[in-house]
Amino acid sequence: MENIEQKIICECANRTIKEAEKIFYEADPNLPYKKVKKLVTLCNKTCCITPLMTLFKMVREEKIDYDKISFLIDERDKWLKAQ
């Protein structure tokens, strides 16, 4: 089974959950989600909004639930494949 932290959360920038988490932790805490998201995704697309926003909130609360993030990524991928 793959390490959940190494699962790709953003296809555009090819970032893993762990990489996104690190960027969120290192970002200025006064920056809004939209600005910090661009540091992770390097784009303006909204395809990964649900898992990224959830991870962002978890980082701010300092309670990361990797299983929930993984589930949200899987659901997003299912939805994208159905399109």
Strands 8-10 and 15-16: antiparallel
Distance in angstroms (rounded) separating the CA atoms of residues 3 and 49:
22
Q: Is 28 left (phi over 0), alpha (psi -120 to 50) or beta?
A: beta
Q: What is the mean pLDDT of the chain?
A: 92
Q: What is the mean pLDDT of residues 7-29?
A: 94
Residue 29 predicted with pLDDT over 70: yes
- What digits encode the pLDDT tens for the residues 45-68? 888 899 999 999 999 999 999 999
Would you call 69 exposed, middle or buried from its count of C-beta atoms within 10 A (0-12, 13-18, 19+)? buried
Q: What is the mean pLDDT of residues 22-43?
A: 93
CB 31 within 8 A of CB 24: no
Q: What is the DSSP letter of 41?
A: H
Residue 27 predicted with pLDDT over 80: yes
Residue 1's pLDDT is: 39
User: Where do the structural domains in the chain lie, given as residue ranges?
Assistant: 9-82
